[in-house]
Amino acid sequence: MLVAERQQKIVELVNEKTSLRVSELSQIFSVTEETIRRDLEKLEKEKKLRRSHGGAVKLHQSAREIPYTEREVTNVQEKREIALEAVKHVVERDTIILDASTTAYYMAKALPDVPIIVVTNSLNVALELSKKKEITVISTGGILDSKSMSYLGPLAEASLEDYHVNKAFISCKGIHLSRGISESNEQQARIKRKMLDTADINFVMVDYSKFGIQAFARFAELDMIDHVLSDQKLDNDYVQQLSERAMNVVRVDT
């Protein structure tokens, strides 16, 4: 079993059982207790569980939407570098979709002022791109969610059905090797699924901390994704397994 698989299964077991001891995990995976302790230390740093005396306990996560102001200051350097890499995949005359993630906002800031069309449900992305005269910006409209600064709901989803774009650039709350890609709530999940359905080529922009996570609402299987843009902290085992599924994985320097 690869290290990434073992760590992913540890998170699943801890979430299922609420808590597990190091000795139990050592027996389950037939590895030393020291190996399990290293796994737990890594998983705690990635905020996937919490270590306790002699073991690990479930990290209680709500399905709430994390406010944009909180997301804006989380893993900032990684998000900026991933956004710069994403910009390299955009050429003149492209039609693209950007979601309401902070990484998409950094991407909007970095996009050159060239003739492209950008469809977005993000108020911040639209305002940033409005400064660039050559870029045509199409906003989905819909119900403005003040926490995410994004348009959501039936109107936002329906508006995407009228468009076809070359490329979609989205982020997410979790990427799980067996359970796909997920978001914090159903509304975010629904519109991101629409975005992926609208595009010929799909990019996911996520830092290392999102891997092995299953958030509240799943919106896509991994086979819908063509490119994964992440950072150097992404485990080699994840890179290998994603590559085996015909995804192009790029890890940027941060």
**Where does residue 16 rank: exposed (0-12), middle (13-18), buried (19+ CB within 10 A)?**
exposed
CATH number of domain containing 23: 1.10.10.10
CB 109 within 8 A of CB 84: no
Boundaries of domain holding 22 = 3-57
Please say which residue of 57, 79, 94 terminates a domain.
Answer: 57
Amino acid at 49: L
How far apart, in whole angstroms, are the C-alpha atoms of residue 107 and residue 96? 12
Q: Are residues 160 and 218 in the same domain?
A: yes
Retrieve residue 1's tokens. 């079993």
Edge-to-edge order in the sheet of strand 135-139: 135-139, 116-120, 95-98, 165-170, 199-205, 227-231, 248-252
The answer to whether residues 159 and 246 belong to one domain is: yes
User: Which three-class secondary structure state does DSSP give residue 7?
Assistant: helix
Phi, psi of 161 (to 5 degrees): -70, -20
76 and 53 in one domain? no
Q: Is residue 243 part of a domain?
A: yes
Q: Is 115 left (phi over 0), alpha (psi -120 to 50) or beta?
A: beta
d(CA 100, CA 29): 39
Note whether 13 and 116 are same-domain residues: no
> CA geometry: angle at 86 spanning 82 and 91, to 5°?
160
Q: How many CA atoms lie within 13 A of 172 on its CB side?
A: 37
Residue 112 shares a structural domain with residue 199: yes
Residues of the chain where predicted confidence (pLDDT) is lower than 50: 62-64, 73
**Per-residue pLDDT, 65:** 55
Q: Model pTM?
A: 0.76
78 plus 40 within the same structural domain: no
63 within domain boundaries: no
Domain termination residue (choose one: 57, 77, 92):
57
51 lies in the same domain as 21: yes
Cα–Cα distance, 72 to 96 (Å, whole number):
22
Contact (CB, 8 A) for 42 and 7: yes
Instruction: Give CA torsion, residues 178, 181, 187, 191, to 10 deg.
Output: -130
* Cβ within 8 Å of residue 229, ≥6 positions away: 82, 85, 86, 203, 204, 205, 206, 250, 252
Contact call for residues 198 and 163 (beta carbons, < 8 A):
yes
Query: Domain tally for the chain?
Result: 2
Q: Are residues 138 and 39 in the same domain?
A: no
Q: Are 17 and 104 within one domain?
A: no
CA 9 to CA 2: how far, in whole Å?
11
Identify which of 212, 12, 4 has the alpha carbon closest to the alpha carbon of residue 25. Answer: 12
Could you give the CA distance from residue 191 to residue 142 in angstroms, rounded to a whole number?
A: 11
Q: Is 62 part of any domain?
A: no
